Each structure stands twice: as C-alpha cells, then as structure tokens.
C-alpha cells in the first residue's frame, strides 16, 4: 500500500471501499476496494474530499482479484452457462438452459482447499432453469500470486469439466399401471395422474397408459412392447414391495433389463427400482410415490431424463439427505431432501 495524491491516481487500485454521502440522495460505497481509478473518477474523488488515496502497489507475479476471478470462472464455465460482469471481485455463472447441474465435487473441493480463492455452487444434481445463478466465485485477498492461480488452472484443466449442465432429453413416457384391483375396476387409478403431473414438470408427455393387472408375464410383455414401439421411458406403478401379488420387480427383471438398483436409501421411496432396457430407463415406482409429496422418484428423475447413467453407487450415496422431513407445506427442493453426500 502507498499514499499518493488523488490527481496522480489514474490506473492505481483503491485499497478499500470509499463511501460517498449526498444528503437525501446516497450513502453508499462510491468506489469499491479493488477499483482501478479512471480519469473520470478524479473530480468525483476530489468532491468527496479525497485529496490523497491509499493505493495498491502491484508487484511482479501478483494478479489483481478481478484477474483471479476470471481464472476461477474459466475453471467452471462450460456450455449451457454464461457469466455476469465482475462485481467487487466476484463473478457469477448462470444457466442458459433448463437441465441438471453436475459437479465434480472432488475437484471443486481441491480448488476450495487451496486457500485465498473460493467457488460456491448450488447443490450437486440441482434442477436448473435458464437464467438461474448456479455458482459464484472470487479471490479472497485484493491480489493473489499468479502461481496460486496456476494451481487453480491446473486442477481445472482436465478433459472433464468441474461444472456441467445436462439438458433434459427424454420427452415421452409410457406408464404401466399394475394392480388387479385397478384393472378389475374395484378402485380407480389415482397413481398415473400423479406420475403424469410430475413428468409434466419437465415437459414429458405420457403417450400411453396400460392397466396390466398383476400378471407378471403380461407386465413383462407390456414393458417390451412399449420399448419396441419407441417409448423413451417406461414407468411401472405399484406392486413393488413384498406381498405375493407384488410382481413388478420380477416382471422388469424378466425383460432382460439391466437392474441398477432395486431399493434406494430414501424415505419415502425405499422400494424404488431403476433399470435400463437397452438405453431406455424402466422404472418401478412404489405406492408411496402416489401418496407422498416427494419421494425417491423426484430425486432421481432429473438425472434419468437427462440421460445421466445412474449407478448403484449414485443411489447408495443418497442416504445422507435421503430422509424427507415431511414438512407441511412441502418446501422441496428448498430443503435437505436429496442434498446429502452425493
């Protein structure tokens, strides 16, 4: 830091916020810490009574916080994202499409462990809409060693980006409603309307609904038929637990689908099943999906329809944060449900 005359300050960086007060008009930081003094700032500074200024002495090998913020931004920005202007040394990233945010949490943590820099994001696997802010980043001190920022760049510079937005790609779905009580007309189907409404949140059209009853072979054939006739996703409702008439998991398995997981560490939704027949997701939804506001289905659906291949490891990771608190009213997604260590 050095003291100089304001009239000589053009091109120098201000070391601290400088407040301007004009009665009835403003009381705010007129110049922020880190601002580089411009020619037109001189009369304003003099009118604020600042004949002298403390300015930053840039040293060889040091970067201004704004230059550091640009490097942090480059480490994160990817397709389907745009950045705003640098404000007070901070840059924010916004989504430019609807989709799901994927974070390389290990490398994000590595950068945040370097010290003197920070990147804050919304939760991994959040659903984002075009225009949503997804991350903000800045250098903590006013200037930072260029070498330090080289470390950021080297952590970021691998083929796999730190932040990715995957747009939703599945636009249609067939629903198979199991249960003899529904097929026989003993009760009316209140499950498929719930699923239809949840899919509609993502612009997915239900193109076919089949009431299959509890005949396992018929459920199996219905799944295969749906996939053969081009369904992008098949969802089976009910018949997912332990009763002798619960045939859905067996029926899905018999199609030859690759079962990723039958069961998820999520309540409600413990009996959720995810499988793929070829690359078509085939899901088994337990009865709670019809009854509860949000379940495992809501947690995994965004990834499934963005064609992010789900693994058993992904599903196992959702246990932390997998317990819905059943708030009334429901605040999802603004709650801990599904936000844990994955």
Ligand X SMILES: Nc1nc2c(c(=O)[nH]1)N[C@H]1C(S)=C(S)[C@@H](COP(=O)(O)OP(=O)(O)OC[C@H]3O[C@@H](n4cnc5c(N)ncnc54)[C@H](O)[C@@H]3O)O[C@H]1N2
Print the binding letters for residues 180-219 with ligand X: x by CB under 6 A, - otherwise: -xx----x-xxx----------------------------
Contact 260, 249 (CB under 8 A): no
According to the binding rule CB under 6 A, does residue 267 interact with ligand MOO? Answer: yes
Chain center to CA of 245: 38
Smallest gap from residue 301 Cβ to ligand MOO (A): 15
- Answer for which of 134, 170, 236, 240 binds ligand X (CB under 6 A) is 240
According to the binding rule CB under 6 A, does residue 163 interact with ligand X? Answer: no
Partner whose binding site includes residue 237, from ligand MOO, ligand X, none (CB under 5 to 8 Å by kind): ligand X
Give the interface segment with ligand X, choosing from 63-71, 75-83, 158-166, 175-183 (CB under 6 A): 175-183
Residue number with CB closer to ligand MOO (269 or 321): 269
- Answer for which of 41, 66, 77, 246 binds ligand X (CB under 6 A) is 246
Q: Give the interface size with ligand MOO as a residue count (CB under 6 A).
A: 7
According to the binding rule CB under 6 A, does residue 288 interact with ligand MOO? Answer: yes
According to the binding rule CB under 6 A, does residue 236 interact with ligand X? Answer: no
Smallest gap from residue 285 Cβ to ligand X (A): 7
According to the binding rule CB under 6 A, does residue 287 interact with ligand X? Answer: yes
**Three-state SS annotation for the chain:** CEEEEHHHCCCCEECCCEEEEECCCEEEEEECCCCECCCCHHHHHHHCCCCEEEEECCCCCEEEHHHHHHHHHHHHCCCCEEECCCECCEEEEEECCCEEEEECHHHHHHHHHCCCEEEEECCCCCEECCCCEEEEEEECCCEEEHHHHHHHHHHHCCCCCCEEEECCCCCEEEEEEECHHHHCCCCCCCCHHHHHHHHHCCCCEEEEEEEEECCHHHHHHHHHHHHHCCCCCEEEECCCCCCCCCCHHHHHHHCCCEEEEECCCCECCCCCEEEEECCEEEEEECCHHHHCCCCHHHHHHHHHHCCCCCCHHHHHHHHCCCECCCCCCCCCCCCCCCCCCC
Give the interface segment with ligand MOO, choosing from 175-183, 191-199, 214-222, 268-276 (CB under 6 A): 268-276
Give the interface segment with ligand X, choosing from 27-35, 89-97, 131-139, 236-244 (CB under 6 A): 236-244
42/223 Cα distance (integer angstroms): 74
Smallest gap from residue 288 Cβ to ligand MOO (A): 3
Print the binding letters for residues 40-79 with ligand X: x by CB under 6 A, - otherwise: ----------------------------------------
Chain length of the chain: 342
Smallest gap from residue 243 Cβ to ligand MOO (A): 13
According to the binding rule CB under 6 A, does residue 266 interact with ligand X? Answer: no
According to the binding rule CB under 6 A, does residue 269 interact with ligand MOO? Answer: yes
- Answer for which of 165, 219, 260, 271 binds ligand MOO (CB under 6 A) is 271
Question: How many angstroms separate the Cα of 7 from the Cα of each of 3, 45, 288?
Answer: 12, 9, 71
According to the binding rule CB under 6 A, does residue 179 interact with ligand X? Answer: yes
Write out the two tokens for 52.
């002298």
In the complex, the residues that contact ligand MOO under the rule CB under 6 A are 267-271, 286, 288
In the complex, the residues that contact ligand X under the rule CB under 6 A are 177, 179, 181-182, 187, 189-191, 237-243, 246, 270-271, 286-288
């Amino acid at each position: 830091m050095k003291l100089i005359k304001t009239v000589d300050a053009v091109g120098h960086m201000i070391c601290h916020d400088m407040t301007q007060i004009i009665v009835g008009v403003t009381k705010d930081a007129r110049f922020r810490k880190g601002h580089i003094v411009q020619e037109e700032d001189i009369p304003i500074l003099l009118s604020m009574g600042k004949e002298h200024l403390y300015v930053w002495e840039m040293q060889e090998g040091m970067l201004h916080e704004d230059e550091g913020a640009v490097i942090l931004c480059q480490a994160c920005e990817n397709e389907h994202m745009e950045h705003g202007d640098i404000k007070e040394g901070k840059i924010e990233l916004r989504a430019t499409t609807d989709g799901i945010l994927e974070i390389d949490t290990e490398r994000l943590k590595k950068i945040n462990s370097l010290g003197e820099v920070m990147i804050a994001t919304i939760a991994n696997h959040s659903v984002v809409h075009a225009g949503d802010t997804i991350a903000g980043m800045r250098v903590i001190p006013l200037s930072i060693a260029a070498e330090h920022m080289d470390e950021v760049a080297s952590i970021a510079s691998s083929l796999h980006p730190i932040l990715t937005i995957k747009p939703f790609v599945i636009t249609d779905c067939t629903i198979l409603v199991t249960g003899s009580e529904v097929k026989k007309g003993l009760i009316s189907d209140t499950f498929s309307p719930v699923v239809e409404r949840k899919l509609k949140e993502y612009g997915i059209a239900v193109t076919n609904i089949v009431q299959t009853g509890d005949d396992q072979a018929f459920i199996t054939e219905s799944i295969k038929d749906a996939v053969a006739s081009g369904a992008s996703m098949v969802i089976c409702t009910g018949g997912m637990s332990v009763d002798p008439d619960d045939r859905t998991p067996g029926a899905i398995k018999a199609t030859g689908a690759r079962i990723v997981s039958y069961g998820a560490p999520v309540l409600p939704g413990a009996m959720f099943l995810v499988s793929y027949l070829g690359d078509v997701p085939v899901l088994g939804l337990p009865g709670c999906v019809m009854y509860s506001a949000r379940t495992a289905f809501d947690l995994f659906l965004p990834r499934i329809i963005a064609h992010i291949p789900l693994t058993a490891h992904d599903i196992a990771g959702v246990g932390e944060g997998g317990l819905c608190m059943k708030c009334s009213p429901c605040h999802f997604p603004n709650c801990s449900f599904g936000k844990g260590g994955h």
